[in-house]
Structure 1
Amino acid sequence: MMSTDRDARLRHRIEFEAGAANSIMLSDTEAEFAKEMLQKAESALDTLDRQLDTLWPEHKEEYEVMERQCGQAAARVERLSIALAPHKRLPTELLSYIFTLSAGDSSLSLPPSRTDMALGSPWVLRKVCSRWRLVALSERSLWNFLSMDIATDDSYSEKTQLVDLKVIEHLLPIILPKIGSLSLYLCVNGISVQRAFDAVIAPCADRITDLYLGLPGSSYSTFFAMLPNQFTSLKNLDLEFLDSFPAGASPIPDLPPSMRHLSVAGDSSPFLSLRSPEMNLGYMTDLDISQMNVQFSDLSLILKRCTNLKTCRISVFGDGGIDAITLPFLHYLMISLDRGTIFDDCTLPSLKELHVSYDEEFPGVELASMLRRSACLLEIFSWDHPPSPMVAQVDAAALSGVFAACPSITDVAGRNVVVPRAVLDRIKNRELLPKLEILECRVDGETVRPFVDAIMSRAQGEIRRPIRGTTPSGFRAAIGCYPQDLQIPDDLQDFIVKLEPLEVLLERVLRLIPS
């Protein structure tokens, strides 16, 4: 009797408890018993289905009775299938790994997408079962990088913005980890700015390590008032001013000592408040103001106090500053400029990678002087000129001076600029850039053959290299882009055809391509 009662309780637990709730998992013993129950239930349903087919249409009353029995049997099969559903038996650690893997490295977008519910939305909170939901909420790595872009535009009204903000306000208390660091992206304008800031940023300011903030210029006063004391963990700060910062408004008072990265776009006036000598910028290691144009004489007052700067992206105009600038740890510089004289003020002894974009004349003389003064071991150098109907030219002596100043360069790119023939000839003979491995530039009718000769010279040196494992003497990659209307001589056409098997032989990229 006891065994019968125990079996009855077990059957009830399997069918009506585990079969009705995704959160209940069966033990291995219970699962084996449930499999037997499911097999018998499926067999009984199959028998009823076959009998049902024989009753229609002669025995309608019996058919209706058996049809109800089939429905009950099918419901029982479904309950037992739910009890044994494989997703319920996945270990918690494996579920967490699956959720983390599916989320990728990108931020989680709030509110969830209306068009694609699986794209940038907390899908695990809505689908499958309550256990999955609990596991997902416990995996804090899913929720510590949240992106909320609710800035209005022509296709996104303030009414819709308010609806989305209410969704965000509802979800944040559910998904936001209660402890640990947070990365937040908030872009908002219109009537909901203060409400969004109070809901998203203010409650967890001391835990935010990475913050992207896009606000109207007039709405930054609340954020600036919280600096530096309330953002005690802030490391990376990206500010975008959606419109002009009001004249006379309170500037940035100071930055937290935890700050390492600062990016500003839209309006330079708040950034220039960092010129104040009271501000300690020695802890900054990364600066990006490449999305706005700043007078270099103003920027120099900031740069000279960023003594630990390692990477820098800037867009500047005007002549050099008043004082010399030495950045002993800077290894990456991307700069857009209109005058090369700004390099006269700079000493960069650790520079490894340099990208220069210029509006008018290539600043080769100033660059070469700066590189010699810095005595740096530059490895990557690129220069660019805004695309124009006429392919940009560069003075051979100026470019040769830059290359001669840094024979350590291994990677060169002048994507919109033709490298002069005289320079290509010296590269071919290794008079310039003996360690060069990557060359990318434009070629024209005068330089296409010297470019090819340089490729072949380096490639042939690679073929002759007898000892495996020694330093390569040829290009790892050489790409020459020529105009669509350029007439390529027949012998060079043959060379282009032969480049593909040469690439396979050398395991290198060697190409001439129209563009």
Structure 2
Amino acid sequence: MTSDILYKIDLAGTSNIIQLSKPERQIALDLLSLSKIMAKDVELTQPLLERLCVALAPHKRLPEELLSEIFVLCMPCAAIIVPPIVGEHTPWTLRRVCAPWRRIALGESRLWNNLQLRRPFSWDLKGEKLQKYLEHLQREIVHPTLPISFDFYGSEPTGAFVSTVRAYFLQPDLHRFRHLSMGDTHSINEVLRISGTSLANLSSLTISSNSASAINSLSRPVPLFQNGLASLRRLKLELGNPRAELLVPPNIPWHQLTDLMLSTPSSMFNVAFLDVLSAAKTLRQCNSLVRCCIAVNPRAKSNEVTNDTVIKPVSLPTLRAFELLCVPKTHVSTPGANDPVVPFLDALEVPALVELRIRGYNAPNQHATLSALVHRSSCSLRVCELLGDERLGYPRGVFPESSRL
């Protein structure tokens, strides 16, 4: 009898467990049905969401080839300089684009063609510093396709360092050089003497020196210019000696330049650079310029220009930004005084000009002269400024809004 009771109790417990498990099975079935419904709903709504995203962002409908072209056009026109410690930095462009554009950029070879390694090269490097520098150069050679930007500055060179320069400039990878920046006669002469045709891909050249001989050395027949600079687009010549007389280098391919600066260091605004006639003659050869900054000395002894002088037209059809630096103390006190800047501005033809800045020029008829330039060229200026030298009491003003076109 006892066994019968235990058996009955066991059967009753099993029956209760079975009854409790039925709702759980039903819940599992309901969840399975719900997941199927949700999956089907996703299949129906996903295309709609994609169409809405495309409508809100039309660029997503464009092929990657076209997006790649847009990306290249939006890149900075100047080279992206990679700092010496590359590991601590990322290229400027890649830090400012979203993930899809970054993926396109990483696959775009033209982005990498716009990167440059910048190497400061100083005559003052000696001993351990020189050894570390040479180690940097050896590591750079491991990357045979990355363009290089080189800066040469310093004092008197030593024999060992001149040998180092020669050794590096005789390397077979000089075609990687895109920018050269030099600041003393020794480095300029040494580089120009041994470079020859190896710098055919050089696109930017900067020479900044207090000595006119450093820049005038470019006027001599040298291999770099004799053999051509087919890729040169940007040229910057800075002269810091107010008593130096500059010879405009005739061997430079002026016709292919897009960026030109014949100027002075910003800290030396009172430096005489070119006379008006030399400036006009130089610009007349630069018919592809987009940006230009040039310093002139209206009172240079070589000027034979009066208010009645007619300078041959200087046509710059693609010029968009022009800055003219005049030596201070050129203020014309009386309307009849000689003002060589007037014939110079009258000779300019700049139909594409949008930015015009003139510094250090203060004359009674300056607004009339600039108005005539704007009307004659039929250009649409967005920025037109007259900036005097405040240290000498010259006013700082903006070209009147009513005179703009």
Q: TM-score, normalization: structure 2?
A: 0.55
Aligned match of 1:237: 205
Tell me how far 1:201 sits from its aligned partner: 4.0
> Which residue identity does 1:173 align to in structure 2?
Q
1:379–1:249 Cα change, 3 Å: closer
Tell me how far 1:336 sits from its aligned partner: 1.0
Aligned match of 2:249: 274
Aligned match of 2:151: 186
- Is the counterpart of residue 375 in structure 1 residue 364 in structure 2? no
Structure 2 gaps of 5+ residues are: 1-78, 91-110, 266-272, 331-338
Asked if 2 retains the 8 angstrom alpha-carbon contact of 1:218 and 1:245, the reply is: no
Matches within 5 A, 1:15-164: 106-109=81-84, 145-149=116-120, 151=122, 158=124, 161-164=126-129
- Is the counterpart of residue 216 in structure 1 residue 218 in structure 2? no
Aligned match of 1:345: 347
Tell me how far 1:256 sits from its aligned partner: 0.4
Aligned match of 1:290: 263
- Is the counterpart of residue 197 in structure 1 residue 165 in structure 2? yes
Identity %: 13
DSSP-derived class of the 2:180 partner: strand
Asked if 1 retains the 8 angstrom alpha-carbon contact of 2:215 and 2:246, the reply is: no
1:299–1:229 Cα change, 3 Å: farther
> Which residue identity does 1:331 align to in structure 2?
R
> Which residue identity does 2:144 align to in structure 1?
I
The match for 1:392 among 390, 395, 398 is 395
Query: In 2, distance between residues paired with 1:392 and 1:284?
Result: 34
Query: In 1, distance between residues paired with 2:357 and 2:216?
Result: 36
Query: In 1, distance between residues paired with 2:392 and 2:255?
Result: 44
- Is the counterpart of residue 327 in structure 1 residue 300 in structure 2? no
Matches within 5 A, 1:395-434: 399-400=399-400, 403-407=401-405
Asked if 2 retains the 8 angstrom alpha-carbon contact of 1:212 and 1:237, the reply is: yes
> Which residue identity does 2:261 align to in structure 1?
D
Tell me how far 1:365 sits from its aligned partner: 2.1
Tell me how far 1:204 sits from its aligned partner: 5.2
> Which residue identity does 1:234 align to in structure 2?
L
CA RMSD of aligned residues (A): 3.9
Asked if 2 retains the 8 angstrom alpha-carbon contact of 1:151 and 1:187, the reply is: yes
Tell me how far 1:184 sits from its aligned partner: 1.5
- Is the counterpart of residue 365 in structure 1 residue 354 in structure 2? no
1:382–1:247 Cα change, 3 Å: closer
> Which residue identity does 1:406 align to in structure 2?
R
Encode CA deviations 1:380-422: one digit per residue, 9 max, x unaligned.
Answer: 222211123857277x9xx55xx44533xxxxxxxxxxxxxxx
Tell me how far 1:177 sits from its aligned partner: 4.3
Aligned match of 1:316: 296
Query: In 2, distance between residues paired with 1:232 and 1:220?
Result: 17
Query: In 2, distance between residues paired with 1:329 and 1:295?
Result: 24
Encode CA deviations 1:473-509: one digit per residue, 9 max, x unaligned.
Answer: xxxxxxxxxxxxxxxxxxxxxxxxxxxxxxxxxxxxx
Query: In 1, distance between residues paired with 2:289 and 2:248?
Result: 18
Tell me how far 1:199 sits from its aligned partner: 4.7
> Which residue identity does 2:373 align to in structure 1?
M
Structure 1 gaps of 5+ residues are: 1-103, 121-139, 153-157, 408-515
DSSP-derived class of the 2:260 partner: strand
Query: In 2, distance between residues paired with 1:299 and 1:283?
Result: 17
Q: TM-score, normalization: structure 1?
A: 0.45
Asked if 1 retains the 8 angstrom alpha-carbon contact of 2:354 and 2:380, the reply is: yes
DSSP-derived class of the 1:237 partner: strand
Aligned match of 2:32: none
Query: In 2, distance between residues paired with 1:382 and 1:343?
Result: 15
- Is the counterpart of residue 170 in structure 1 residue 135 in structure 2? yes
> Which residue identity does 2:82 align to in structure 1?
S
Asked if 2 retains the 8 angstrom alpha-carbon contact of 1:275 and 1:301, the reply is: no
1:165–1:143 Cα change, 3 Å: farther
> Which residue identity does 1:222 align to in structure 2?
E
Query: In 1, distance between residues paired with 2:316 and 2:169?
Result: 34
Asked if 1 retains the 8 angstrom alpha-carbon contact of 2:314 and 2:348, the reply is: yes
Query: In 2, distance between residues paired with 1:283 and 1:305?
Result: 9
1:304–1:162 Cα change, 3 Å: farther
Aligned match of 2:335: none
Tell me how far 1:209 sits from its aligned partner: 4.4
Tell me how far 1:349 sits from its aligned partner: 0.8
Matches within 5 A, 1:232-271: 232-241=200-209, 243-245=211-213, 249=217, 251=219, 253=221, 254=225, 255-266=228-239
Report how many aligned residue pairs link the two structures.
268
